[in-house]
Chain A
Amino acid sequence: KNQVEQSPQSLIILEGKNCTLQCNYTVSPFSNLRWYKQDTGRGPVSLTIMTFSENTKSNGRYTATLDADTKQSSLHITASQLSDSASYICVVGGSWGKLQFGAGTQVVVTP
């Protein structure tokens, strides 16, 4: 069973609208949580990285939250743009340095 579960698997949103992606994990011990954006046919690009002591981190229109007690994270996209269409991958780092990748949420932004 994957230790990093993402939901929804995919979603379609209208340009300009907001959306929130979820990531639940069971990785323990926990070191950090990262969100990556992966455009089709490209490698993932880092959006945010949070340690267990951080609750929120922003990168432009992307805001990630972390609740280390419930082992949940979310990625909020504000005022979506067509260029936000991509797969968003949640990656959890264990204290031993190993990274566990989620399967990603495929976001499609339509005009």
Chain B
Amino acid sequence: DTGVSQNPRHKITKRGQNVTFRCDPISEHNRLYWYRQTLGQGPEFLTYFQNEAQLEKSRLLSDRFSAERPKGSFSTLEIQRTEQGDSAMYLCASSDVGSPLHFGNGTRLTVT
């Protein structure tokens, strides 16, 4: 297992377009998290799945953001009608009970 995988690594899009990111967690981990990180800041929590159930969503996750984890395996994060303020690194992490978070290398989104 090569760890948490995120695709694409970089995404440049024009304002108003929709984007979708994918995260493949460590296979035996049942918990999956999405975070957003801007330059010089720590990651900010967006949402959390246990298996296929989305158990928590941050207030940061506006109506334009939606995340899914069908079948409790990979997850997707979609941003509709992107805005320049959405430009950030989007990090995915997975964990099992009692284990630390294992992060992917993120998807860097630039909205022009």
The interface of chain A, by Cβ under 8 A from chain B, is 4, 34, 36, 41-46, 49, 89, 91, 98-99, 101-104, 106
A103 touches B45 (CB 8 A): no
A45 touches B42 (CB 8 A): no
Question: Which residues from 87 to 107 on chain B have a C-beta closer than 8 Å to any C-beta of chain A?
Answer: 91, 93, 100-106
Q: Which of B41, B103, B108 contacts A44 (CB 8 A)?
A: B103
The DSSP consensus for interface residues of chain B is loop
* Chain B interface residue number, banded: 10 to 19
- The total of Cβ contacts below 8 Å across the A-B interface reads 41
Question: Which residues from 32 to 77 on chain B have a C-beta closer than 8 Å to any C-beta of chain A?
Answer: 40-45
**Docked pose: A90 CA to B101 CA in angstroms:** 13
Interface centre among A41, A42, A43, A106 (most CB of B within 10 A): A43
Nearest B-chain residue to A90, judged by Cβ: B42
A34 touches B100 (CB 8 A): yes
| B4 located at the interface, meaning its Cβ lies under 8 Å from any Cβ of chain A in the complex | yes
B100 touches A103 (CB 8 A): no
B4 touches A43 (CB 8 A): yes
